[in-house]
Each structure stands twice: as structure tokens, then as C-alpha cells.
Amino acid sequence: MIPVKYITMIKSAALRSVVLYLAAFLILVVLVDPKRLQAKILNYLAQPIDYLVYFSNGEESLNVHKIREYAHYYETLIEYVPNAAAAYGMLAFCYYHMGKEAEAINLYQKAVTLQPHSFWFDYNLGVIYFAQKKYAKAIASFQKALGTPPQAAVIVMHNTKVFAHSGNLTRLINADHGPYASLEEMMFSHLKEGYIRAAQLTLLSSQRLRDSAPAGTADPAARLVIF
């Protein structure tokens, strides 16, 4: 049988532990920004962006209902993290495919302001302007994208992975145009292709701006790209 004095000591130690825990918890609640904490929770709960990646790559057909679900998530994320460039870019991608072109342009412009070294934000802006036949603006956006050092673009891609919840992209990694050894290798390959398409679309925009595009000229693959 445990002596009474030891039981009292154990109870006192347990009480001190509870008090210290509660004090630490209260300090944490005071010091942690509630909005940032909720943003982290939102980020943790976000569904994988596999569908958006497959769709942007032409591997899935448009599903507006799914696009709206993603848009709602990124709208909420921006509310809590208003300086998250990647969130603006992802929301712009969703809005464009929801038929909200003007809003998409504004969001991409905001994303470019927050993260000036993202190749894809400028590239996607150029694609939208190109589709609208605003060739002078398209050229400016494509040239800005081409002026982004590839090393800087790669760093941005890595730093924004927190907003790109990739689940299982095996179908893309092992596709016929691969296979790729990893998601990173696929991203780098897409980036290389992006620079090539940006140069092609710049030239084509210049030709059309001068009304001198050869008859029957085929457009390069001009679609919005996530990465």
C-alpha cells in the first residue's frame, strides 16, 4: 500500500503539471495568430489537386462542379492568408474555367505582384490575353514570363507546394509523354515546355498583331497551366 504522503506528493505533482499545461496553452492561444492557425488547418484539410493537374494537362474533361469546390477553398484560404500568391494563382485558374475571365485576370495580376518570379502566372495571363485576341498584352505577359530565370521559377514552384496538395499523380508521371521518375522531374519538363510555348505564342501574337499570320497557322497548345 502506498503511504499517504506519497499519494499527496503525486497529486501535487499532477496538479502542477495540469496548471503548467493550461498556462502553456493560454500563452499559445494568445501568441498564435488565429487566422494563420486556421489557414494551416484549411491547408491540412484541403483535398488533393490531382483533378486540377489532370485537367490542366488535358487528361480530364471540364467538371465545373469540381472547379467550384476548389475555388471555394482558395477563396477561403485567401481570406485568411491574403498574401499567398499561389492561392491567388490557383483561384484565377478556377475562375477562368468558371467563365470569370475578368476576375481571373485580376487574380493573376495580384499573384504576379505578390510573387514576381513565377513563370506560370505570367504565362497564364498571356494565354488569357491571347484567347481574347489582346495580342499586345499577351506579348507583354509572355515576354515577362520568358524573362524569368528558370532557377527562380523552380524555387517558386518548390515554395508553393504547400498549396498544391498532390495526392496520386501516377497517371501523369507514367503517361506516354513520360515516363517521369518523379513529380519534380515532370514539373521541370513542363516548365521547359512552357518556355518553348511562351516563345512560340509571343511570335504568333506579334504576327497576328501585324495581321501577317500565315493562313492556317496552328496555335501552340495555349491553355492555362498549374505547373
User: 95 and 15 in one domain?
Assistant: no
pLDDT for 82-105, tens place per residue?
A: 888 888 999 999 999 999 999 999
User: 152 and 51 in one domain?
Assistant: yes
User: 46 and 16 in one domain?
Assistant: no
Tell whether 73 is covered by a domain: yes
pLDDT for 17-34, tens place per residue?
A: 444 443 443 334 344 455
Task: Give the number of other CB atoms < 10 A from CB of residue 64.
Answer: 12
Q: Which segments in the chain show pLDDT lower than 50?
A: 2, 4-7, 9-32, 162-164
User: 175 and 119 in one domain?
Assistant: yes
Tell whether 222 is covered by a domain: no
Q: What is the pTM of this model?
A: 0.73
User: 58 and 27 in one domain?
Assistant: no
pLDDT for 63-88, tens place per residue?
A: 889 899 889 988 988 888 888 888 89
Q: How many separate domains does the chain show? A: 2
Q: Is 108 helix (H, G, I), strand (E, B) or coil?
A: helix
User: 111 and 23 in one domain?
Assistant: no
Question: Which residues contact residue 73 at a Cβ distance below 8 angstroms, ignoring those fewer than 6 apart?
Answer: 42, 46, 47
User: 198 and 119 in one domain?
Assistant: yes
Grid cell listed for 53: 493537374
User: 105 and 74 in one domain?
Assistant: yes
User: 123 and 158 in one domain?
Assistant: yes
User: 27 and 83 in one domain?
Assistant: no
Question: Which residues contact residue 148 at a Cβ distance below 8 angstroms, ignoring those fewer than 6 apart?
Answer: 117, 118, 119, 122
- Residue owning grid cell 499523380: 169
Share of the chain above pLDDT 70, in %: 63
Tell whether 60 is covered by a domain: yes
pLDDT of residue 154: 82
Rg value, the chain, Cα: 24
Question: Phi, psi (5° rounding) for residue 98?
Answer: -95, 5
